[in-house]
Amino acid sequence: AQPVAETSEPTPEQQVVMASIRDPLNPPEPIIAGRTAAAQMAELFAERYGSYSTQGDYQNLRDLLPVMTASYRSKTEAMLADAQSQQGQPYEGVTSAKVSTDVRVFSQAAGTAVIAVMLQQQKTTATSTVSGYRSLRLELKEESGGWKVDAVRWENDLTPAS
């Protein structure tokens, strides 16, 4: 039997694996290439973005500033500068945990991705607790060798679990 000639170029992930096999004592820099890295950034961002309390005074957003593009960071900083302190407001807290991730659009060449992260959320107030699901749509751009969030929007209101 004749060997089959490959006609396609290996993916970046396959190139890292092949380089590690060729020289296992001197593997390439450990990288999480492309799609996986973008999805992981979206998941981490979504969980932090979706977890907050009135006592936190927008700390969840401040913590995320370093992983935002310059444009989105500027918009968020402007919103934070105009935001009223939530101290003294009736307590409301939300915790979020990733349920699933959907990479809707991904282009390594363009350095862009659109990813939706489904979150399970628990919203607690002084008088009630509601658990349910929300989907956060994130637009990411590759900058300086890493993925940064360029825009986000909730796709639905908290849908109580049945």
HEC per residue, 61-119: HHHHHHHECHHHHHHHHHHHHHCCCCCCCCCEEEEEEEEEEEEEEEECCCCEEEEEEEE
Q: In which band, very low, low, confident or very high, does the pLDDT at 33 lie, cut at 50, 70 and 90?
A: low
What's the confidence (pLDDT) of residue 31? 43
Q: Where are the beta strands (DSSP E) in 26-82?
A: 52-53
Note the pTM of the prediction, 2 decimals. 0.77
User: Which pLDDT value is given to residue 25?
Assistant: 55
Confidence of residue 160 (pLDDT cuts 50, 70, 90): confident
Question: What local confidence, expressed as pLDDT, does residue 19 receive?
Answer: 54
Report pLDDT digits (tens) over 49-77. Answer: 999 998 888 999 999 999 999 999 999 99
For every residue of 1-21, DSSP letters joined together read -PPPPP-SPPPHHHHHHHHHH
